[in-house]
Chains A and B, each alone.
Chain A
Amino acid sequence: MNFLLEPLNLVTFFPLVGVLLLLFIKKDSAARWISLVTALITFGISIWMLTLFNQSDGGLQMEINLHWFSFAGWDIRYALAVDGLSILLVLLTTFLTPIAILSTWHAVEERVREFQIFFLLLEVGMLGVFLAQDLFLFYVFWEFTLVPMYFLIGIWGGEQRMYAAIKFFLYTMAGSILMLLAILWLGIEQGSFHVPTLISLGGIPADIQIWLFLAFAAAFAIKVPMWPLHSWLPDAHVQAPTAGSVILAGVLLKMGTYGFLRFNIPLFPQAARELAPLMAFLAVVGILYGAAVSFSQTDVKKLVAYSSISHLGFVVLGLFALNEQGIQGAILQMVNHGISTGALFLIVGFIYERRHTRALDKFGGLWTVMPVYAVLTLIVSLSSMGLPGLNGFVGEFTILLGAWGAATGVLGSYWYAALAALGVILAAIYMLFMFQKMFLGPVTNKKNEGLPDLSRRELLTLIPLLVFIFWIGLYPKPFFGLMSASVEQLVQLVNVLP
């Protein structure tokens, strides 16, 4: 019993309670409620976890470290723990899941029960990824997330859903299998899969570190996705149902950036330092490429999808500045992107449910028809492009500071920060362009007249996100406070270790 009541076990596996109940419930409306309530309770548990969290401690907390099985000299552990690097992502996951479930209320009418089952299973997988401290366990969660997401896209997606689903699965698996080999190598040579143990062991020769770094990076870079490994993302996003897109952009992509943070940097510090310019280069290309491609999209959802590539480029840039500002900014920006892009996908979903199209040229003048919707969209767009006072600004600005500071350090050039700053301007251009086409001017399309404004349920999904958009934008200190001790420790580690 005590085992089940450990906060981290409880938060990770509580959604399974909902899954079990759903197996016996046939009615659609009941299935939705069960799923929502489960997700809300999980969120509650994560808040409880937050109250237990000591933010002045930079190490792992609430550790669970049990023997799972041993095989020919290997001791594989069931190890979960949380620290400043992961706690915000855990909270982001438990926070976005109920919102995404609420957004499916009318959007998913078919096979509701199965949808909710897959959604809750996905939540288990994501939480496990953020909490696992044993590489075997981590890999199990990591691969497992593919399965429910595959079904979410494949069953409830758009026209091209089968293609998008299988592309998503195979693309991601292609990266993970290389990571699997690297994990095996660590097990054979270092004799452990336990991440803290591996970090303290250290001592991997520099040339091998590079290979291992690249193998792990293959998995994470595809997940993020970093240019040039991004081509699965637009397909998956455009075909996924709204709730799937929210979670995909909001949380699943963060698994990639989190992987860099949790594994690549502390396990292979020397390789991280050596390859930081390469990673930063790819990140900057991603920032500019994502922005440029977003600009030329005619489908709103695709535009938001490509903008993710750009935004996550900032996160990777911040991570590989390898200084406190860069990494803190990157973690915060992961949260910001989850909130803002999650909100944007909800917004796209709202209009799609009304008009069954997402083509930009079908809209125009929506401000007069749906004023509330327009205002909220404007706020979210501004947050996404990094307007001061809103959340995006804080994250991107801190990242740029970090990258600038690293110019005399690991990165070796001011160009990364300078070009990334250009990305902020480009983001303003494509977001405002989209806003203008959709909302300003006269109503050009007769079908758009008389569209109902947002319902109470729809407002309920957006408002929590808006609260955080302002909160992080105006007073980010508590968020930085949660991570600063752990980040400090990580930065020290990476700059000291060979």
Chain B
Amino acid sequence: MPKADGARSGVLPWVVWTALGALAAALAIGLVSARLGAGFEPASALDRALLLYGVGPRIATAILAGAALGLAGALMQAALDNPLAEPATLGVSAGAQLGLGLLAIAAPDIGGFAREGAAFLGGTAAVALVIALSWRRGLDPVTVVLCGMIVATIASGLSAALILANGDYLFALLIWGGGSLVQQGWGPAWAIGAALIAGSIGAALLARALGVLSAGEPGARSLGAPVAAIRTAALGVGVLLATTVAAEVGLIAFVGLAAPTLARLSGARSTRHVLLAAPATGAILLWLTDGAVQQFGTGDALPTGAATAFLGAPLLLWMLPRLRMADRPGASVRPGPRSSARLVALCAALALLVFAAALALGRGPDGWSIATGGDFLALLPFRLPRAVAAAAAGAMLAAAGVVLQRLTANPLASPEVLGVGAGAGVGLAVVLVTAGAASATLELAGAACGAMAALLLMLALATRSRLGPERLLLAGAAISALCLAAVNAVIAGGSAGAFALLGWISGSTSAVGPSEAIAGCLAAVVLIAALAPLRRWLDVLPLGEAVARGVGLELTAARAALTVIAALLTAVASLIAGPLSFVGLVAPHMAYAAGLTRPALHLAGAVALGAGLMVAADLLGRTVIYPYQLPLGLFASLIGGGYLVLALRAR
């Protein structure tokens, strides 16, 4: 759209952003004047205190935090040359949340700086881990984001497990997770302001070097630029900004991702311009959102941090077709020596072995035991449905992962990226909030409706605006963030349904009965079987658009069909295992790395491995902290994350 390009670099963006800024300011003035009497004096001592320690710092914090997150996102995206990079994708936010949760368990009575410090340490530890894991590969962008996703999923799984293991004791963590900007003093504003000043100086120093990097890594190397050092420094500054915001006000979704993207869409071309424009964009976004939340919200029922996703995600979705992005060939996974059906059989045998263990092994008041005879039969009704459902979920996620990774030629694509699993969560949330106590069937129906809604939205986007692989990922990430923000808002509301949703997010199989298990199994068989006739598409699509067209593939139809199947697979699986398991990412990787490169074998191997992984996760989840249970999704992500860490180190 060349015409739109011309308009974008002109006056229009300035007008739009000035108008948005003015709107934010108007909302803020409304809030301030509500506390002012005649002659611009506070109407009472109470109003004065509210202005000085509540309204004032909140405005400052919104602006500063928005700017800090915008800058953090811009730095991270420039450092990684990846439009999906932001504090969340690097594990920073999840790490900070885990740090806070751990402190609440270890020393519940410690307050003040210790809490902020724990969040900071957690975020820093997460990103340090990510950098350590990807160091050997020169902080290659794809590897960094992959590691970031592993670390983030493990950290948020552990956080959810902590909340579950302590009932409603971690109420504070819930609010914090929602990112509320309510203030009771100037401390957070000062802290974020200080970080922002430090970050701005860092960004100014790095802007030139990052500009050189953006011209391409080989070019930068040939100019003698220390590529890894520049990236580490930019990431470090971004992390400082993001963890300070996370520590002071909690998780603010989407600003770090949306601000630099919107800055580029508004005409910021060079790295320097993006670094300048992103903080301004972020500040206006957050200020406006916070004003709107206070104007239209009741109490703190919707935390600002969740509301930013409602503003930012649709904006991003709307602008996606207008986003300029090269359809780069994805970084490939190096396959092992090419191998055969015998390997698939081995994978299947392994999965069966794990399944048998899941039925026989258990832990009771007297320790581990292998159930035999009558006990085995008596326990079977509890163990069999879980194991079957877990196997079905693992198989479906693995199949969806194979489809998505081949469809997008992107090793980062995994079912959760589609946003369909998260959509199921919204459906579940609606059912739990409106019906209160809900039966399993009703929960299932709600989740399925939510999944279908997310799926239809994805499809509309994919077909109407002919999304290429990267845009599809970005659209999925936006929908996913939107849906998870909605679910988090319900959780932060603290209703009784919140615990059911927390359970769902971490992936708990404890409510699975025989009917759910049978349904899951049937869905797995039908949907995976439907993929068999499409395997040629899976072979051709990763080679790129040109090749696919060259062999006469109807691209739009092929993509739509595969997307539908992948979305259905994900929807059913997420009802069983939650949205956050790693199996859809790991199982296809494992199979591919083992040498199963042809589509049919890749699919079969991944399905067997996915089922085995998930069943093993369920077995461990119910035994490790008996009689308390860890959620399936958490253990799946721990196993999968462990594998990915090893795989990355080996390369």
Q: Do A and B bind each other?
A: no
